[in-house]
Chain A
């Protein structure tokens, strides 16, 4: 399991210096760590977080947005009609609820279609694993720089240490 502090440090080492989002239980450890480091600006909706990140990007920051995958649905129009057409990148750190069909009913549909959903929007994505973490982070940084549109890193259950180990 990846330590939350190590995850945040890896993001900071990549140059990420603006973090916002809406919480999910799988992201609890990361958000607690970000708050400890006074790096986190809480948003009330995921599309707001994405738009805030876009503003921060234009003002010189490298932004990341944390959200549950349900928030991708909420953010769809902002991602398309702001980030994609205006070429405003951010790193989407998305918890993969409903992964493998094992979760509460409200997560199952998005859990199943999420990768195809992002493929349709032409947003690149990758799933973080402990074994490939270094390559995963490198891929995120390179894709961000190259594509200049949002790039998504999926977090599945048990990969990053949460609040309740």
Chain B
């Protein structure tokens, strides 16, 4: 059964709920629909939208987190992205940055390329993260649990992973139109 039974929300609804709980934390957002949707829902200078380098969102966020240990750093990631860069779960688990929160939208498909299945329906990514050394991991299926767990993670030392099961719905969101080099400048200024 895909998506997992009991999954109620879309990724866009999840992003909207998360953005409401965030203030000025840097957020690294993986390529594909997550970036497009986050850009449509709330375009903030603290958002770094990836348009390529699939699999690297968590590694970019880790670099920010290590360089700014007093700033909480968040990454919005996807199941296909996490699977592609799964070694980074080990790097994060080993280094244990306290200021690192990894949000994974898990819809069990490569949504941007036409909903081909990933393998996250049989590989629970939050358990992989836990085994790798993440301190807090949660898997949520609805908005209330998402808000409760994310609020809790914002108060705790990490590394933490919040895996949100979402359905396959993709918002009608166009490409991110900021020029990449301008995004770098804007993000750097915002997190100074």
Contacts and interface: CB of A to CB of B under 8 A. Distances in A.
A87 B184 CA distance: 7
A16 B49 CA distance: 26
B87 interface: yes
Chain B interface SS verdict (over half): helix
Contacts of A88: 184
Nearest to A90: B63
B63 A56 contact: yes
A56 B64 contact: yes
Nearest to A18: B67
18 contacts: A44-B90, A45-B85, A48-B56, A51-B60, A52-B59, A52-B91, A55-B28, A55-B60, A55-B66, A56-B66, A56-B67, A58-B63, A60-B188, A77-B54, A82-B50, A85-B52, A87-B184, A88-B184
B61 interface: yes
A117 interface: no
B157 to A, nearest CB: 19
A51 B54 CA distance: 10
A15 B53 CA distance: 27
A6 to B, nearest CB: 26
A86 B181 contact: yes
Interface residues of A, number: 32
A47 interface: yes
A85 B181 contact: yes
A82 B52 contact: yes
Interface of A: 18, 20, 41-45, 47-61, 63, 77-78, 80-82, 85-88
A51 B95 contact: no
B55 A47 contact: yes
A132 B63 CA distance: 32
Closest 3 CB pairs of A and B: A55-B63, A81-B52, A59-B67
Contacts of A59: 26, 63-64, 67-68, 188, 191
A55 B61 contact: yes
Given A77-B53, A82-B52, A88-B184, A54 B60 contact: yes
